[in-house]
Amino acid sequence: MTLTGTRPIGRSEFIGLIAALMALNSLAIDIMLPALPAMGKPLGDVAGIVSSVFGSSRP
């Protein structure tokens, strides 16, 4: 089976995609930081929240 109309991703597109994914990760950290004390108070463990949020995003 051959696919028509498809092409491999270019170098600049790949670099742009990786840069966007890295920026999204930084944005997620910056969004969560102000709410971290409020999230950690009821649960009693700020380090556990950080580990669970960023540990769950690993493949």
The pLDDT value recorded for residue 4 is 74
- Listing DSSP states for 1-50 in one string gives ---SS--PPPHHHHHHHHHHHHHHHHHHHHHHGGGHHHHHHHHT-HHHHH
Domain coordinates of the chain in residue numbers? 32-59
The pLDDT value recorded for residue 58 is 60
**pLDDT grade, residue 8 (50/70/90)?**
confident
Alpha-carbon gap, residue 13 to 18, rounded angstroms: 9
Q: Which tens digit of pLDDT belongs to each residue from 9-49?
A: 899 999 999 999 989 888 888 888 888 777 777 766 667 77
Who has greater pLDDT, 56 or 16? 16
The pLDDT value recorded for residue 3 is 65
Helix 36-43 × helix 46-55 angle, to 10°: 110
